[in-house]
Amino acid sequence: MRALVLMWWASWLPTTVFNVRDFGAVADGKHNDTVPIQRAIDEAARAGGIVYFPAGDYLSGTIVLRSNVTVHLAPGATLWGSRRIADYSRPHLIYAHEAQNIAIEGGGTID
């Protein structure tokens, strides 16, 4: 019974949403949005939260997911991998190491 109550209580906790545009992402498919995207992820990781990508074209190199972060790609949002090798700190577009409680969701696209 105690576990059920805790699950119900946790479902009512507010979830903070971090919009990547508020961190400076341009979303035009031309400007590299890696830095503002990573800033949003890092901020969301402090207390847990959702990194929200509204509709747009986000060009990026490696982004590192942190624990307790959900990436939500809204319909019409596309996360494009940069064609420049120099934009990657690791050979991956999305990378996580020893991260827990992470998710990628939504109706957007990763290309």
Which neighbouring-strand residues pair with 87? none
Express as a percent the part of the chain with pLDDT over 70. 87
pLDDT in tens, 80-98: 999 999 999 999 999 999 9
Q: Report whether pLDDT(10) > 50.
A: no
Q: Report whether pLDDT(57) > 60.
A: yes
pLDDT at residue number 1: 44
pLDDT at residue number 2: 44
User: Cα–Cα distance between 24 and 66 in angstroms, integer?
Assistant: 20
How much is the pTM? Answer: 0.87
Sign for the CA dihedral angle at 52, 17, 19, 102 comes to negative
pLDDT at residue number 14: 54
Q: Do 39 and 70 form a contact (C-beta atoms < 8 A)?
A: no
Q: Helices (H) and strands (E) in the chain — how many of each?
A: 2, 10
pLDDT at residue number 7: 44
Q: Report whether pLDDT(34) > 50.
A: yes
What's the whole-number average pLDDT of the chain? 90
